[in-house]
């Protein structure tokens, strides 16, 4: 098998299982937090809040990038499909005129925020490298699919727009208006998973630092709010027409 076909095949395989990344991060975080020295955090409680705010802002940035991309996307473009690449329209304007893979950029920032919250720089570096190697294969397979699907239109666009690092010199405003309904319909699970990720790291770290399981009241409150919003939006999505939009995926 030629290398180009091997890369495409592995990319398509990784594409199917990209939703398992959060589970892997949760598992890896356990030994990382266990072996990380948090003595500096006990010296001043403000250090904890600085770390939390910085990490949360990074994750929030990722969610904003995803929201902009999803909220202004064409109908029938690739979304949460896992079995195979799907696209009946090509996004080339708006945020897609600044980078070719804004959803993957958003994913990186969402999850690296949680990784930063572990306060282990080597874990941040390791996850960043692993993320790049993993998604590089997925992006390769996706771009091969889009090249075959859209031909010259895709090639012309891809030659002007960087894959990952944004460039605004060729920015074109999207003709599609931003849809909050689309965000509420498609992004609630990712937001909830991010919140749970922060709680998981915090609970685990407190257990290791205090040598006792401490479940603070605010843990219950934050978790309850996240799960309630998720369940509420999921109910609206599957059992009502409130979030339905005719021209959105």
- Percent of the chain topping pLDDT 90: 31
C-alpha dist (Å) from residue 235 to 185, 228, 229, 231:
10, 10, 10, 6
Using alpha carbons, list the distances in angstroms from residue 144 to 31, 69, 148, 225, 240.
Answer: 38, 21, 6, 41, 38
Give the per-residue pLDDT at 116.
Answer: 96
What is the C-alpha separation between 178 and 11, in angstroms, rounded? Answer: 30
Give pLDDT, residue 140. Answer: 81
Count the neighbouring beta carbons within 10 Å of the beta carbon of residue 27: 9
pLDDT of 125: 96
Q: What are phi and psi of 9, to 5 degrees?
A: -65, -45
How far is the first Cα of the chain from the last one, in angstroms, to the nearest whole number?
36
Q: What is the pLDDT of residues 130-189, one digit of tens each?
A: 888 888 888 888 888 888 878 888 888 888 888 888 888 888 888 888 888 888 888 888
Q: What is the mean pLDDT of residues 104-133?
A: 93
| Range of lowest pLDDT (85-99, 104-118, 136-150, 223-237) | 85-99
Q: Which residue has the higher pLDDT, 27 or 14?
A: 27
Q: Which residue has the higher pLDDT, 133 or 116?
A: 116
Predicted TM-score (pTM) of the model is 0.86
| 244 token code pair | 């339905």
How far, in Å, CA of 60 to CA of 207, rounded? 26
Please tell me the predicted confidence (pLDDT) of residue 52.
94
Contact between 63 and 194 (Cβ < 8 Å): yes
Task: Print the SS3 string covering the chain.
Answer: CCHHHHHHHHHHHHHHCHHHHHHHHHHHHHHHHHHCCCHHHHHCHHHHHHHHHHHHHHHHHHHHHHHHHHHCCCCCCCCCCCCCCCCCCCCCCHHHHCCCCHHHHHHHHHHHHHHHHCCCHHHHHHHHHHHHHHHHHHHHHHHHHHHHHHCHHHHHHHHHCCCCCCCCCCCCCCCCCCCHHHHHHHCHHHHHHHHHHHHHHHHHHHHHHHCCCCCCHHHHHHHHHHHHHHHHHHHHHHHCCCCCCCCCC
Q: Are 186 and 70 in contact (CB under 8 A)?
A: yes
By mean pLDDT, which of 23-27, 105-109, 202-206 is the weakest?
23-27
The CATH fold assigned to 3-179 is 1.20.120
pLDDT at 245: 76
For the cut 90, the answer to whether the pLDDT of residue 127 exceeds it is yes
Average pLDDT over residues 213-224: 84
Mean pLDDT score, 214-230? 87
Domain boundaries, the chain: 3-179
Q: How confident is the model at residue 93 (pLDDT cuts 50, 70, 90)?
A: confident
């Amino acid at each position: 098998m030629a290398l180009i076909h091997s890369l495409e095949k592995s990319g398509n395989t990784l594409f199917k299982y990209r939703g398992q990344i959060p589970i892997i991060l949760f598992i890896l975080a356990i030994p990382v937090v266990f072996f990380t020295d948090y003595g500096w955090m006990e010296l001043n409680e403000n250090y904890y809040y600085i770390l939390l705010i910085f990490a949360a802002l990074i994750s929030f940035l990722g969610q904003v990038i995803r929201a902009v991309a999803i909220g202004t996307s064409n109908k029938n473009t690739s979304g949460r499909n896992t079995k195979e690449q799907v696209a009946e329209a090509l996004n080339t304007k708006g945020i897609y005129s600044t980078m070719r893979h804004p959803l993957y950029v958003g994913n990186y920032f969402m999850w690296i925020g949680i990784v930063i919250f572990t306060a282990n720089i080597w874990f941040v570096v390791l996850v960043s490298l692993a993320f790049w190697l993993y998604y590089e294969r997925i992006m390769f397979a996706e771009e091969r699919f889009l090249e075959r699907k859209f031909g010259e239109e895709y090639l012309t666009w891809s030659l002007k727009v960087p894959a990952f690092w944004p460039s605004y010199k060729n920015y074109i405003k999207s003709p599609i208006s931003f849809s909050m309904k689309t965000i509420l319909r498609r992004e609630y699970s990712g937001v909830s998973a991010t919140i749970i990720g922060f709680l998981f790291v915090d609970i685990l770290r407190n257990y290791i630092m205090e040598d006792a399981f401490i479940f603070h009241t605010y843990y219950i409150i934050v978790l309850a709010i996240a799960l309630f919003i998720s369940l509420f939006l999921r109910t609206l999505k599957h059992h009502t027409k409130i979030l339905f939009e005719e021209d959105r995926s």
